[in-house]
Amino acid sequence: MPIPSDPDSPEIVDSHCHLDFPEFAGELPEVIARAGAAGVTRMVTICTRLDAEPAVRAIAEAHEGVFYAAGVHPMRAAEDPPASVEQLLAFARHPKFVGIGETGLDYHYTAQSADVQQQSLRIHIAAARQTGLPLIIHARDADADMARILAEEHAEGAYSCVMHCFSSGADLARAALDLGFYLSMSGIAAFPKSAELRAIFAAAPLERILLETDAPYLAPPPHRGRRNEPAYAAETARVGAGIFGLTLPEFAAATSANFDRLFPRAARKARAA
């Protein structure tokens, strides 16, 4: 079904959420309706474990403005069966499959599996390169290895990428931007103590910024501490508009255009709807 929206609201895209997570069980139609009322007319729901792909795909199939991506989350890389390039290519045949991941490196809780995470990341990069779909990267406490691997792989063949929920340091931001990648702004950028992160975004080109919630996590103020949901991308958009000295409609339009450029399969579907 299409996502109902307020024609007077700025159109916002939530480029990363997890609609299959149990926090939304039994309430998904209402969550999606609230997103539309807040101006969030498109969203990408992310599959973090490949055995959940059928359920995530079904959500995208049921809702016109919802798309999906799939990969093995780095914190699961040592627990779950590894993804193969062939498996990811098979997923990519679905018309609403728009990205590869999330994948990446997380040394905060799972540094002991660093080698396995790096192998998994390179598999996902190969799939992104072969499909032409954007890579969706999770990076935490692994800036040096992340920058190195992304650059090494890019030198072997170009691919597109978004640094999802970007909250790393300025060096990784510059490395990603130098490769032509995008930085995604989550509710973390709206936290009172995130002045340094807001400065990193302010130094980035506007045409490389996306919006996301990472729902059900990381709700921005005034919802912090509660379950996040796609509607709250509007709150982060207000903060982003202030960072770039724009009105909310201007910032929403810019980040939506950026999403269309990075996720052309979702953009084409939106125009055809």
Query: Would the pLDDT of 25 be above 70?
Result: yes
Q: What per-residue confidence (pLDDT) applies to 9?
A: 63
Residue 40 to residue 232: CA distance in whole angstroms: 9
For the stretch 107-154, pLDDT in tens is: 999 999 999 999 999 999 999 999 999 999 999 999 999 999 999 999
Q: What per-residue confidence (pLDDT) applies to 10?
A: 75
For the stretch 160-199, pLDDT in tens is: 999 999 999 999 999 999 999 999 999 999 999 999 999 9
Q: What is the mean pLDDT of the chain?
A: 95
Residue 265 to residue 246: CA distance in whole angstroms: 28
- For the residues 243-258, what does the mean pLDDT come to? 97
Query: Would the pLDDT of 103 be above 60?
Result: yes
CA-closest candidate to residue 158, choices 184, 185, 183, 178: 178
- For the residues 95-116, what does the mean pLDDT come to? 97
- For the residues 16-44, what does the mean pLDDT come to? 96
Query: Would the pLDDT of 2 be above 70?
Result: no
For the stretch 227-249, pLDDT in tens is: 999 999 999 999 999 999 999 99
For the stretch 56-71, pLDDT in tens is: 999 999 999 999 999 9
Q: Work out the pLDDT band at 1, boundaries 50, 70, 90.
A: low
Stronger pLDDT, 181 or 269, i.e. the higher one = 181
Q: Work out the pLDDT band at 265, boundaries 50, 70, 90.
A: very high
Residue 150 to residue 161: CA distance in whole angstroms: 9
Helix axes 233-244, 195-202, angle to 10 degrees: 60
**Is domain 12-267 given the CATH code 1.10.150.120 in the classification?**
no
Sheet holding 161-163, edge to edge: 12-17, 40-47, 66-70, 97-106, 135-140, 161-163, 182-185, 209-211
